Amino acid sequence: MAVFTEVSADAAGEFLRDLGLGDLVELQGIQGGIENTNYFVTSTHEGQTRQWVLTLFERLSFEQLPFYLYLMKHLAQRGIPVPDPQGNASGDLLHTVCGKPAALVDRLRGRSELAPTEAHCAGVGAALARMHLAGRDYDRSQPNLRGLAWWNETVPVVLPFLDADQAALLQGELAYQNHVAASAAYASLPRGPVHADLFRDNVMFDAGPQGPELTGIFDFYFAGVDTWLFDLAVCLNDWCIDLATGAHDAPRARALLDAYAAQRPLTAAERRLLPAMLRAGALRFWISRLWDFHLPREASMLQPHDPAHFERVLRQRLA
């Protein structure tokens, strides 16, 4: 969430007034992430102070964005703890700030847990399953824009930056994932709207009387229609691994999987293809991090992620 577009206090204040949310108190750029411009915004209206997150979209278009914003609204209305996009007087959730498509959502309480326990992983598993089920009747459709088609387009672009061993691994795994995607078992997998980026820094927790309480899931701007199993694999590849080595953490993985299955039991095909989807999730983020690292965009506070991390995860999944 680096700052690509500088938003002035005057522009932010005018935007808040247009939405009927009062006056600007504070505007603070958010460091971290690499896709969009994000600011924390504090407003005051009729004596009440509220906190928001303002996002200016740097890659997604006006045509693509309604899928994400109305998905969040759909989930929020069904009790899933996600940011609730704020509409204007006409009910539109997509706005324009500094010439860029923009959205304003409420700021979630709690904080991210970057060293999760089994209890945190269980909370994520249960919330992910509920989110999948709540999205079944969402009436908009958009493919996962960072799915297999994007992998096939992007791998040739990043290959020149790799050594021979890395290139062989990347090309071999891409060929394998194309083979899996063409199988009847893959075609039978349940699917619907997925988050596709549910990492540790995209979930909020607070301390609760029975242990950690999951208070929010955010950053839906990689969402799309895909297999629920891929979404689950992406979570397992972040929440249930050792960050230093990429190695699988069995107790945390079992906690996440059991909590997920208690809400939505996996099908036989999902159980069979989970190892392949764990590899797919590692491949997807290795490719995107290679792309962001070697072909970066200019931005204030931009910090590209190390692509070697998901190379390690993929090698561990293969082993």
- Name the percent of the chain lying above pLDDT 90: 90
Mean pLDDT estimate for the chain: 95
Same domain assignment for residues 193 and 263: yes
Q: How many angstroms separate the CA atoms of 263 and 279, rounded?
A: 24
Same domain assignment for residues 134 and 278: yes
Asked whether the beta carbons of 231 and 220 are under 8 A apart, the reply is no
Q: Which of 61, 84, 106 is the last residue of a domain?
A: 106
Single-letter code of the amino acid located at 104: L
Q: Which of 51, 77, 106 is the last residue of a domain?
A: 106
Same domain assignment for residues 176 and 268: yes
298 within a domain of the structure (yes/no): yes
43 within a domain of the structure (yes/no): yes
Mean pLDDT (whole number) for 199-225: 95
Residue 104 has pLDDT above 70, yes or no: yes
Asked whether the beta carbons of 116 and 200 are under 8 A apart, the reply is yes
111 within a domain of the structure (yes/no): no
Give residue 1's pLDDT band: very low, low, confident or very high (50, 70, 90).
very low
Higher pLDDT, 211 or 166: 166
Same domain assignment for residues 254 and 151: yes
- Name the percent of the chain lying above pLDDT 70: 96
Same domain assignment for residues 191 and 50: no
Q: What's the pLDDT at 3? A: 72
Same domain assignment for residues 122 and 100: no
Give residue 305's pLDDT band: very low, low, confident or very high (50, 70, 90).
confident
4 within a domain of the structure (yes/no): no
Structurally, how many domains does the chain consist of?
Answer: 2
112 within a domain of the structure (yes/no): no
H helices of the chain, in order, are 9-18, 65-77, 118-134, 148-158, 164-181, 184-187, 228-239, 250-263, 268-294, 308-318
Which residue segment(s) compose the domain that 187 sits in? Answer: 118-318
Across 227-242, b (16+ Cβ under 10 Å) vs e yields bbbbbbbbbbbbbbbe
Same domain assignment for residues 134 and 80: no
DSSP state of 264: S
Give residue 135's pLDDT band: very low, low, confident or very high (50, 70, 90).
very high
Q: What's the pLDDT at 62? A: 94
19 within a domain of the structure (yes/no): yes
Nearest to 200 by CA among 105, 255, 123, 133: 123
CATH of the domain at 19: 3.30.200.20
Q: Using the structure block, give the residue that is written with the tokens 């078992």.
A: 185
Asked whether the beta carbons of 49 and 43 are under 8 A apart, the reply is yes
Same domain assignment for residues 157 and 229: yes
Q: How many angstroms separate the CA atoms of 126 and 73, rounded?
A: 20
Residue 209 has pLDDT above 80, yes or no: yes
> Treating both helix axes as pointing N-terminal to C-terminal, what angle do 250-263 and 118-134 enclose, rounded to 10 degrees?
30
Same domain assignment for residues 57 and 164: no
Q: What's the pLDDT at 303? A: 63
| Cross-strand bridge partners of residue 250 | none
Same domain assignment for residues 145 and 71: no
Mean pLDDT (whole number) for 134-152: 97
Q: Per residue in 68-98, pLDDT tens?
A: 999 999 999 999 999 999 999 999 999 999 9
Q: How many angstroms separate the CA atoms of 255 and 26, rounded?
A: 40
3 within a domain of the structure (yes/no): no
249 within a domain of the structure (yes/no): yes
CATH of the domain at 131: 3.90.1200.10
Q: How many angstroms separate the CA atoms of 127 and 256, rounded?
A: 10
Q: Which of 106, 140, 167 is the last residue of a domain?
A: 106
Same domain assignment for residues 310 and 200: yes
Q: Per residue in 169-202, pLDDT tens?
A: 999 999 999 999 999 999 999 999 999 999 999 9
Q: How many angstroms separate the CA atoms of 39 and 247, rounded?
A: 34
Q: Which of 59-63, 102-106, 299-303 has the lowest mean pLDDT?
A: 299-303
Higher pLDDT, 243 or 2: 243
Same domain assignment for residues 207 and 288: yes
Give residue 300's pLDDT band: very low, low, confident or very high (50, 70, 90).
very low
Q: How many angstroms separate the CA atoms of 58 and 103, rounded?
A: 12
CA distances (Å), origin 309, targets 35, 283, 289, 290, 305: 19, 11, 9, 10, 9
Contacts of 144 (CB under 8 A, 6+ apart): 194, 196, 222, 223, 224, 225, 226, 230
Q: What's the pLDDT at 297? A: 67
Residue 299 has pLDDT above 60, yes or no: no
DSSP state of 143: B
Residue 31 has pLDDT above 90, yes or no: no
Q: Per residue in 251-289, pLDDT tens?
A: 999 999 999 999 999 999 999 999 999 999 999 999 999
Give residue 301's pLDDT band: very low, low, confident or very high (50, 70, 90).
very low
Taking the model in full, what pTM does it have? 0.91
Q: How many angstroms separate the CA atoms of 99 and 56, rounded?
A: 9
Q: How many angstroms separate the CA atoms of 248 and 252, rounded?
A: 9
